[in-house]
Structure 1
Amino acid sequence: MLSSALAVGAHAEPGGCLKYGAAGAVGGHLADHHSVLGATAGCVVGMYKRHEYRKEARMKAHLYDQEHPGAKGSYEQKATAYDVEHSTTPGAMTPSEPSHPAQPPAPAAAPAPAEHL
């Protein structure tokens, strides 16, 4: 029951201090036993990543408010709605790449036949 309560409150945000700090601790341990230094650096990187994610979500919410005056909801909900309407992904302000298949490469020219001496 506790896990279901935690799942409802979870957001699709980048890891933050705990996740990046844990990865930094493992990396620091493998790099000559500097677990504390790695955890600290990982925590700082995680906090920065989450800050950038939230900053972008607030910008998307502002753009959504301009397109839909009077829209209600949190900035996260508005950012998600903006992503859906404009085919963007979280972490990118520009539309995603089109999902059409890539063109096959042009055939290479045949090599010249070797001459016999």
Structure 2
Amino acid sequence: MKAMLAVSVAAIALLSTEAAEAKGCIKGAIVGGIAGHYAGHHGVIGAAAGCLYGRHRAKEQDRQQQQTRVNGQGRM
């Protein structure tokens, strides 16, 4: 039952994100799942939280890269 729930959550998360967001989600879910497992057998909750955090970090990094490209092109 838990495995089916985890697969369903992962599938929905991957299908509803863009490429950069999915990349952050996958990395975050792996780390969060492992941490959650060792912190009281809450791997699914850890994976979901890690996915959200990973997506947040990926978006943040994309914004910073876009900002440096815009600022970098203005200086010549």
Shorter-normalised TM-score: what interval?
Answer: 0.5 to 0.7
In the alignment, the residues of structure 2 paired with residue 25 and residue 41 of structure 1 have an alpha-carbon distance, to the nearest angstrom, of: 9
Which structure: greater helix fraction? 2
Matching residue's letter, 1:48: H
Structure 1 match to 2:65 = 57
Structure 1 match to 2:44 = 36
Give the superposed CA RMSD: 1.1
Tell me the CA shift for residue 64 of structure 1. Answer: 1.3
Structure 2 match to 1:48 = 56
Matching residue's letter, 2:24: G
Q: Secondary structure at the match of 1:32?
A: coil
TM-score by length of 2: 0.66
Tell me the CA shift for residue 60 of structure 1. Answer: 0.2
TM-score by length of 1: 0.44
Structure having greater relative contact order (Cα 8 Å, sep ≥ 6): 2
Q: Which has the larger radius of gyration?
A: 1
Out of 25, 28, 34, the residue aligned to residue 26 of structure 1 is: 34
How many residues are aligned here? Answer: 54
Q: Which runs of 5+ in 2 are unaligned?
A: 1-22
Q: Which runs of 5+ in 1 are unaligned?
A: 1-14, 69-117
- Deviation track 1:43-82 (CA, whole Å, cap 9, x = no partner) reads 01100111110000010011012114xxxxxxxxxxxxxx
